[in-house]
Structure 1
């Protein structure tokens, strides 16, 4: 009886295996030798699909960014609501794969999904009346905020031992040992508080910036 054929090696299989490794063990776990072993193939066969390990990580990063919903920048949604929806979707994608965040933080490079996201955000802000320079800054500040919030957990940074928080030394940390127990509530609440503050602050800037731009443009025809 013929032996079952192994699934053909493909870019998709390589990327899926690499993402699983990153999720489980971090960026340092990814090597062409390790990936080949995970996929049950010879190392050189990977080079039929990717030139270098960084090319593989680029594809992994782009796969994660492709999960972010940017449709709100194309469907007429108010720019404030669009930033809120995009920010939440962006964080959800990154928080599901936090170990890839340092690689993503380098910028979109030539990654198609990353460039599509940058294009959608910039285009949406400019269409809403933001000057191009401000549209660029908004995309950047949102990336800083979302990436930072997805990179780690504030709540899990505190140990659950009450004895670690001597009231003589830390008089205001009497409940800090409970933070890890409520990690999701604390971290998601912090993100939502910061996101709302960012968008509210941008709203106040928008009245000045967009109004000044309209004044300089003068009356329409």
Structure 2
């Protein structure tokens, strides 16, 4: 059988090529035309699989975030939040150029909505009032997205001369980039632990509390 002149396309192949392009060149460089060139096909061929770029990005995002873990809520709310936050950060940092998509609200993305439902349900089921559960979910997301968006340690220059004499409290700042991954991981864990410890105290006050009398 003669080999087909046009490569056989599939949704997984298109998603993989799109993600590789985003990782390499950035999200703003992705277009259906550019992606078709990467795959050595005509742009029209892509539209038989995806109606537009947003539809493609939705599925790429769902695939990238598929390992985010919300199963910990079956144990208790603290374990649920910790496992969710850590796996969420891991998913975002693996593909930083895709972060504007993966960190966005769930919209109509099925998997993102499923996870949001599990987080909220896990908190409410543990005794958190619905309003508090919503605020906790939002606060945890702020912590995770902030940690994934940029590196504190990599924000410093590695030239000791910049800090010597003029910034006496930053005399070791030039060493931070060398240890950036370690610092970023430890700092995230510190922030997450402090957040969860603070919630423990709040939980004792609000969980299972009687509704306020509106009369």
Verify same fold: TM over 0.5.
yes
Measure how far apart 1:3 and its partner are.
2.6
Residues 61-118 of structure 1, C-alpha deviations (whole Å, 9 max, x = no match): 1112212111222xx3111111111111111111111111122333111111111110
Deviation for aligned residue 1:174? 0.4
**Residue 189 of structure 1 corresponds to which residue in structure 2?**
186
Taking the aligned partners of 1:152 and 1:4, their CA distance within structure 2 comes to 45
In 2, the alpha carbon distance for the partners of 1:144 and 1:113 equals 20
In the alignment, the residues of structure 2 paired with residue 93 and residue 7 of structure 1 have an alpha-carbon distance, to the nearest angstrom, of: 30
List aligned pairs for 1:67-146, cutoff 5 A.
67-73=67-73, 76-146=74-144
1:202 aligned to 2:162?
no
1:53 alignment partner in structure 2: 53
- Residue 33 of structure 1 deviates from its aligned partner by 0.8
Compute the displacement of 1:167 (Å). 2.5
Structure 1 position 8, deviation (Å): 2.6
Contact 1:167–1:173 under 8 Å retained in 2: no
- Distance in 1, Cα, partners of 2:44 & 2:11: 14
Runs of 4+ with >4 A deviation: 4-7
How many correspondences in the alignment?
A: 212
8 Å contact kept, 1:126–1:132: yes
Q: Is the 8 A contact 2:159 2:174 kept in 1?
A: yes
Q: Is the CA contact 1:63–1:113 (under 8 Å) kept in the aligned structure 2?
A: no
TM-score, length-scaled by structure 2: 0.92
1:177 paired residue number? 174
Equivalent pair of 2:7/2:41 in contact (CA under 8 Å): no
SS of equivalent to 2:193: helix
Report the RMSD for the aligned CA atoms in angstroms: 1.7
- Normalization by structure 1: what TM-score? 0.90
Displacement of 1:35 after TM fit? 0.7
